[in-house]
Amino acid sequence: MGNPRQSIPLSFTVGHAPSPSEPPPEFVPATVPGAVQLDWARAKEWGPWWYADHFKDYRWMEDRYWTYRAFLPEPLPSEGSLFLVLEGVDYACEVRIDGARIHAHEGANVKAEIPLDGRCKAGSLLEIVVFPAPKSRPQPEDRSQADRSVKPAVSYGWDFHPRLIPLGLWGAATLESRPVRHLLSTDIDLILSDSFEAAAVEFTFEQVEAGLVRFLLFDPDGKAIFERKKDLPEHDRISFGLKKPRLWWPNGLGEPVLYTWTFEILGDSGEILDRAQGRIGFRRLRLVMGEGSWNEPSRFPKSRSAAPMTVEINGKRIFAKGANWVLPDVFPGSLGAQRYREQVDLAADCHFNLLRMWGGSQAPHDAFYDRCDERGILVWQEFPLACNRYPDDQAYLDALDHDSRHLIRRLKPHACLAWWGGGNELFNRWSGMDDQSHALRLLNRNTFEFDRQRPFLATAPLTGMGHGHYRFRDGQTREECWAIFQRSSCTAYSEFGIGSISNLDVLDAFLPEPFRFPPNPGTPWQTHHAFKAWEQDSHLYLPDIAHYWGACASLPELVEKGQRMAADGMRGLFEEARRQKPLASMALAWCFNEPWPTAANCSLVNWPCKPKASLQAVAQALRPILASARIRKYRWSPGEVFDPELWLLSDSPRATGSGRMIATLTLGDLECARLEWSFKSAEPSMNTQGPRLQCLLPAIDVDNLLLSLQVEGHPDWESSWKLPFGPPTPTEAFQPSTNA
């Protein structure tokens, strides 16, 4: 009884059959975590799944029953209890030992801990039968097939995701030998005092039998600052207070300080029988009403005010900036800590402080949240509902209830976890859910029951929030994205993006040579989302590129122009959202990453982790302090009055100090205008609105105008804008896009 918990690896093979009762005729080696598709392709020596239209070869796999097989070791551990632990099965499974069914569940977030004592022997055959992808109906073959399951809908086909539905063991599957007296669960709650000078810690645990336990809390330097060692019952709570806890702050606002705890179940002679550990961050996060939000509505009949969307952390209101995160691979099981770390680091280096885990995708592994804890990236975590009408149906609600409880339990300890969201765009026409939908009332209940300190947003957008646009110019109205934002007054811009072409090396990697240039519909350009992904032109938007620069002669030129348009656009949008502070308090790009190599997409980062030009531009726009300009439109012509309004934007926890900004407008070698602005020191995190430069643009034959904003003594705050310049563009010949 002295042996601690032991994890025993299993070696799996996998095969498929048309029904759960038929044994697969062939088995191939399986990688766990992984996906059945990857295993099969590897065994059959297929080329990369992401090349050209290879993904279509995988279509049949979604409807098969996939059986993972492993033999239990000989001999089995002789002491303690034996469990099969499934960290994540995508999506529904049945577990058999020597042919007898011992377990079944559905939901990729469910962690199954299946007792094996008395149900197996050394050398027993373990089978995990993974069911076909859930489908509520055979047709149409799109995301609506996922509307009665908690399988994220993205892989059924999306405007940036091929139809390729991953299946299999996306989390570890191991045999665990546990001491008889082992730990069943832990939970930890932290409540900060109103002054943030003290914290109450409540650690709850459940063990199989009463006995001696030890809880230790270590400060960020590794020093034990609290210890309790005591005989305690099966289910108990250890509560204590902590003075002057070092606070966890999001990126850019302070250090994301983490403490560590350990909990041990001790044997009679003090030996460690079982053990758990975790990290915690002391912070209090609320969603509060933005300044000015209560002033609206002002006239009768009066509706409600906007939903609270300003992040208040540790008593400070911040501007939340970041992006929507989607799973960075079609196959979640292929993602490891390294990829998560790269992605989160990219986001943090870009001055992000918030990522929205979009509900169309699956919640990633712990490694993602661990890195967010470490880098101070807040996570808005949505449940797997997106752009579908999930029904008030008991079987569905039961699955959602079960799956969501597991997800809440898994993610609750993370300091980075900011709030829960019901899912994506559920209160819009294309979803058709509403405030009365039982799925959302259930999620509201579960988060309230099990993680009450965290906010819950039924969906996004809510009242006051805005989603879109997703292109540089509207397809019908031709209104440019900058102008759209300048006339808007959202409290939170929780999605906006600009479709743009991918990096040249990304395109070269998956495009067969005959299709390389020019891009055409009906080729891998289209299956990789350059055409008809959402609108007719999306996400490549050739007509918009042509509108500003004329036709491109080569692929490199197209990449350069297309990425420039998106980069300039996104930079201007982020700056405009910041200028609207404090009424606006959030700006999140759609989207950060992508699950495979797209030909064109709104992503800032190409698959697997390659920054596009937009990412660098967004990083510019999100510097804590920067010189900024409100510019009415993108392209300028001789005879027009160029009239940017100067701003000094600050999200910094420091005052800016007073200073001088010099704006110069240059056309070729000619300095056309110059404006000096002496600004006063702004309070921490306050923007300053400056004067407007005005200049009648002369007729000079150059392709760009250059606006340069310099701040004396602060080269890191400087900004410049290179905008297309030339004669007025001719009437546009191309057909208006139509929304999908």
The smaller minimum CB distance to a copy of itself, of residues 139 and 298, is found at 298
Check residue 456 for interaction with a copy of itself (CB under 8 A): yes
Structure tokens at 279: 């990290």
Binding span for a copy of itself by CB under 8 A among 24-32, 180-188, 245-253, 432-440 = 432-440
Q: Cα(368)–Cα(337) distance, rounded to whole angstroms?
A: 7
Sign of the four-CA dihedral 106, 110, 111, 113: negative
- Minimum distance, C-beta of residue 535 to a copy of itself, in the bound complex (Å): 12
Q: At closest approach, how far in Å is the CB of 455 from a copy of itself?
A: 5
The minimum distance between CB 595 and a copy of itself, in angstroms, equals 24
Minimum distance, C-beta of residue 493 to a copy of itself, in the bound complex (Å): 6
Residue 484 binds a copy of itself (CB under 8 A): yes
Size of the site for a copy of itself (CB under 8 A): 50
Tokens at residue 170, please?
A: 């996306």
Nearer to a copy of itself, 18 or 292 (CB): 292
Tell me if 615 sits within 8 A of 522, measured CB to CB.
no
Closest by alpha carbon to 425, among 335, 360, 381?
360
Task: Check residue 582 for interaction with a copy of itself (CB under 8 A).
Answer: no
Q: Which of 350, 490, 501, 618 binds a copy of itself (CB under 8 A)?
A: 490
Asked whether position 483 contacts a copy of itself by CB under 8 A, the answer is no
| Residue 136 binds a copy of itself, judged by CB under 8 A | no
CA proximity to 618, closest of 649, 650, 589, 648: 589
**Residue 650 to residue 319: CA distance in whole angstroms:** 10
| Alpha-carbon span 160 to 489, nearest angstrom | 28
Minimum CB separation of residue 496 from a copy of itself in Å reads 7
Q: By CB under 8 A, is residue 405 in contact with a copy of itself?
A: no
Q: Which of 14, 465, 627, 723 binds a copy of itself (CB under 8 A)?
A: 465
Report the chain's C-alpha Rg in angstroms.
Answer: 28
Task: State the minimum distance, in angstroms, from the CB of residue 540 to a copy of itself.
Answer: 19
Q: How far is the CB of 86 from a copy of itself (least distance, A)?
A: 30
Q: Which of 734, 739, 358 is nearest to 533 (CA)?
A: 739
Q: Residue 169 or residue 318: which is nearer to a copy of itself going by CB? A: 318
Q: Does 435 participate in binding a copy of itself (rule CB under 8 A)?
A: yes
Pattern 298-327, binding to a copy of itself, x per CB under 8 A?
A: --xxxxxx-xx-------------------
- For residue 668, CA distances in Å to 418, 550, 640, 699, 700 come to 48, 20, 17, 11, 8
Quick one: 545 or 584, whose CB is closer to a copy of itself?
584
Q: DSSP H helical segments within 511-632, as ranges? A: 524-527, 542-549, 555-579, 613-621
- Long-range Cβ contact pairs of 541-545 (< 8 A, separation 24 or more): 541/471, 541/472, 541/499, 541/500, 541/565, 541/600, 543/732, 543/734, 544/471, 544/472, 544/473
8 A C-beta contact, residue 143 and residue 584: no
The residue (of 324 and 459) whose beta carbon lies closer to a copy of itself is: 459
Q: Which of 212, 216, 272, 289 binds a copy of itself (CB under 8 A)?
A: 289
**Look-up: residue for tokens 């099966």?**
234
Report the nearest approach of a copy of itself to the CB of residue 457 (Å).
7
CA 594 – CA 612 distance, rounded (Å): 12
Structure tokens at 587: 């700006």
Q: Give the residue carrying structure tokens 């009679």.
A: 268
* 83 makes contact with a copy of itself (CB under 8 A): no
Note every long-range contact of 182-187, with CB atoms under 8 Å and residues 24 or more positions apart, other chains counting: 182/5, 182/80, 182/81, 182/207, 182/208, 182/265, 182/273, 182/274, 183/207, 183/208, 183/263, 183/265, 183/274, 183/275, 183/276, 184/208, 185/409, 186/263, 186/276, 186/278, 187/409, 187/412, 187/413
In three-state secondary structure terms, 561 is helix
Task: Describe the strand order of the beta sheet including 719-724 as a list of residue ranges.
Answer: 670-679, 659-667, 704-711, 719-724
Pick the piece of the chain touching a copy of itself (CB under 8 A) from 148-156, 158-166, 377-385, 449-457.
449-457
By CB under 8 A, is residue 107 in contact with a copy of itself?
A: no
The residues facing 127 across adjacent strands are 69, 96
**Residue from 17, 102, 216, 462 in contact with a copy of itself (CB under 8 A):** 462
Q: Does 690 bind a copy of itself (CB under 8 A)?
A: no
Instruction: Please report whether residue 294 would count as binding a copy of itself according to CB under 8 A.
Output: yes
- Under the binding rule (CB under 8 A), the answer on residue 399 touching a copy of itself is no
Contact flag: residue 541 with a copy of itself (CB under 8 A)? no
Asked if 386 is part of the footprint of a copy of itself (rule: CB under 8 A), the reply reads no
Among 427, 548, 636, 717, binds a copy of itself (CB under 8 A): 427
Establish if 144 lies at the interface with a copy of itself (CB under 8 A): no
CB of 84 to a copy of itself, least distance (A): 33
Q: Which amino acid is present at 360?
A: G
Which member of 13, 144, 444, 637 binds a copy of itself (CB under 8 A)? 444
Tell me: does residue 202 bind a copy of itself (CB under 8 A). Answer: no
**464 touching a copy of itself, by CB under 8 A:** yes
24 or 455, CB closer to a copy of itself?
Answer: 455
Q: Which of 4, 50, 249, 305 has its CA nearest to residue 161?
A: 50
- Under 8 Å between Cβ of 285 and 378: yes
The verdict on 474 binding a copy of itself (CB under 8 A) reads yes
Candidates 219-227, 406-414, 467-475, 625-633; binding stretch for a copy of itself (CB under 8 A): 467-475
User: Which residue of 119, 275, 279, 286 would you call a contact of a copy of itself, by CB under 8 A?
Assistant: 286
Would you state the structure tokens that stand for residue 378, as one six-digit string? 């807040």
CB of 614 to a copy of itself, least distance (A): 18
Any contact of residue 439 with a copy of itself (CB under 8 A)?
Answer: no
Cα 632 to Cα 299, 334, 575, 688, 709, distances in angstroms: 30, 45, 13, 19, 17
Q: Which stretch binds a copy of itself (CB under 8 A): 462-470, 500-508, 519-527, 644-652?
A: 462-470
Torsion (CA) 221, 249, 496, 620 in degrees, nearest 10: -80
Q: Output the smallest distance, CB 644 to a copy of itself, in A.
A: 23
- Binding segment (CB under 8 A) for a copy of itself, from list 91-99, 284-292, 358-366, 610-618: 284-292
In 3D, which of 493, 490, 473 has the Cα closest to residue 481? 473
Q: Which residues bind a copy of itself (CB under 8 A)?
A: 286-289, 294-295, 300-305, 307-308, 427-429, 432, 434-436, 438, 441-442, 444-445, 448-449, 452, 455-459, 461-469, 474, 484-485, 488, 490, 493, 496
